[in-house]
Amino acid sequence: MCSDIAGKPEEATTPDFTTLEFTPQVPIPDYLTGEIQSKLAYVDQQILAAQVKEDQITLKVASPGDLTAERRAEVIEKVQRVVLSMAKGAFKPKVQVLEDHLARPVPYHSDPMTELLASGQISQEANGLFVLGPLITRLVAYFEAQFLALADSFQAAPYRFPTLIPAGYLERVNYFRAFPHSLTFATHLREDLEVIDNFAQHAACEHSELQTPPNSFAPIQALLSPAVCYHLYFSLADRPLPGGRVVATAVGNCFRYEAINLTSLERLWNFTMREVIFVGEKDFVLENRELARQRMSQVFERIGLAYRVESANDPFFIGEFRKQAAFQSAFQLKFEIRARLPFKDATLAVGSYNYHQDFFGRSLNITLPDGAPAHTGCVAFGLERIAFAFLAQYGLDPASWPAEVRQLAA
Ligand code: ATP
Ligand code: ZN
Ligand code: MG
């Protein structure tokens, strides 16, 4: 409701959207502006863009005409609810920096998207869906070779996992509660002659949306997988861990619906992740996570990547955010490799070093020889992201690339 808002909202109207500006109900600390801004993508379908500052929120809200007072109040009330849930009583996490190479000199300072699109090296199919041409494909192969060498150094066993994941799996590891906003559901037409015939004859797209009666679709049994390592944990569920420890590696398609945050190659709906996964005793997992970081540090030094490794949290949904993020931070469960994007003076997570304690061991009943639940950890790299960050630092001309990358990827 409007009366809940500190300060009177101001708006400027244009034919296609209305800009709403208002004061958050509680001041938003610096370290939460990004987290809250990214969540506003999920607050209302009409929100086209959001900007969050300590004492001001600006929304671009789709409205063919003027936005009604009722809609305006409704949108603002929903945003204030998010602000309260995420910012009220929050305390600043202590950011731990394990490596800082952000100042490494790099030769390129433009947004590579412009050149990539102009040269036809990438093309966009839809929001968050990109075709990658030979330049990025070869770069991805180069980085994959580095990650495979890392996996080999641990004698990781290779796996291939399905792109779909059973709904019951995600339920069992609490994924629906933690990350409902970014799920992508898979379905199919019901096994019913009439439904299928009807679809075959009338299916058509309007505004990129398939016009199909919702009851044509079967109940959802599977989703598109949001991560790689869950598949391994489920394959180990409900039995003693073979040999007391497992190291595995796999690459897979991952899906996270990030709504209006799906911009450029930085944030995709469909991306590819390479993971090296450790399952065993606590010390085994933590020591290997640390070893992986040290080994990757050498790779990034050879390549001349400007980046930093710092503690982070997963993008939990609004209601779960405060508690879970604080927990992850307190126990140093997640560190991100954040590469510098010189063109926007920002950083982007190209990978993460994760420790889940015995969460999966307990939830999935994976047991160590002494009967205790296994601990797990994973090292995960976003392949499109690392290629993008490299291009943002070194440009599209292989002549400017470090020799090793040029030789192997150009
Ligand atoms: P971010 O903080 O950028 O939202 P995340 O913390 O959710 O990423 P992880 O769950 O740690 O990411 O996933 C491992 C890696 O997968 C990330 O470091 C990143 O490189 C990549 N990744 C995650 N989400 C996306 C996405 N939407 N598009 C492209 N790559 C992604
Ligand atoms: Zn993982
Ligand atoms: Mg993150």
Q: For the segment 341-368, what is each residue's pLDDT rounded down to a tens digit?
A: 999 999 999 999 999 999 999 999 999 9
Which tokens in the block code for residue 331?
């126990």
The phi, psi pair for 109, rounded to 5°, reads -135, 10
- In this prediction the pTM is 0.93
Q: Is 253 in the pocket of ligand 1 (CB under 6 A)?
A: no
pLDDT tens column, 33-58:
999 999 999 999 999 999 999 999 99
Protein residue with its CA nearest to atom 30 in ligand 1:
382
Q: Is 275 in the pocket of ligand 1 (CB under 6 A)?
A: no
Q: Which ligand 1 atom is the nearest neighbour of the CA of 351?
A: 18
Ligand 1 pocket test: pick from 266, 271, 347 the residue with the most ligand atoms within 8 Å of its Cβ: 271
Q: Which ligand is nearest to the CA of 268?
A: 1
pLDDT tens column, 294-325:
999 999 999 999 999 999 999 899 988 988 99
In the predicted structure, residue 116 carries a pLDDT above the cut 90:
yes
Tell me the helices (H) and strands (E) count for the chain, helix number first: 13, 21
Residue 3 has a pLDDT of: 32
Q: Is 309 in the pocket of ligand 1 (CB under 6 A)?
A: no
Residue 91 has a pLDDT of: 85
Quote the mean pLDDT of the chain.
94
Contact 179, 315 (CB under 8 A): yes
Ligand 1 pocket test: pick from 38, 95, 273, 296 the residue with the most ligand atoms within 8 Å of its Cβ: 273
Q: Which stretch of DSSP H or E encloses residue 124?
A: strand 122-126
pLDDT tens column, 148-165:
999 999 999 999 999 999
Contact 279, 354 (CB under 8 A): no
Q: Which ligand 1 atom is the nearest neighbour of the CA of 348?
A: 3
Q: Is 261 in the pocket of ligand 1 (CB under 6 A)?
A: no
Q: Which ligand is nearest to the CA of 312?
A: 3
Residue 15 has a pLDDT of: 59
In the predicted structure, residue 274 carries a pLDDT above the cut 70:
yes
pLDDT tens column, 183-196:
999 999 999 999 99
Protein residue with its CA nearest to atom 23 in ligand 1:
382
In the predicted structure, residue 6 carries a pLDDT above the cut 60:
no
Question: Band of the pLDDT at 173, cuts 50, 70, 90?
Answer: very high
Q: Determine how many CB atoms are found less than 10 A away from the CB of residue 217.
A: 15
Mean of pLDDT values over 155-180: 97
In the predicted structure, residue 13 carries a pLDDT above the cut 80:
no
Residue 65 has a pLDDT of: 81
Q: Determine how many CB atoms are found less than 10 A away from the CB of residue 313.
A: 17
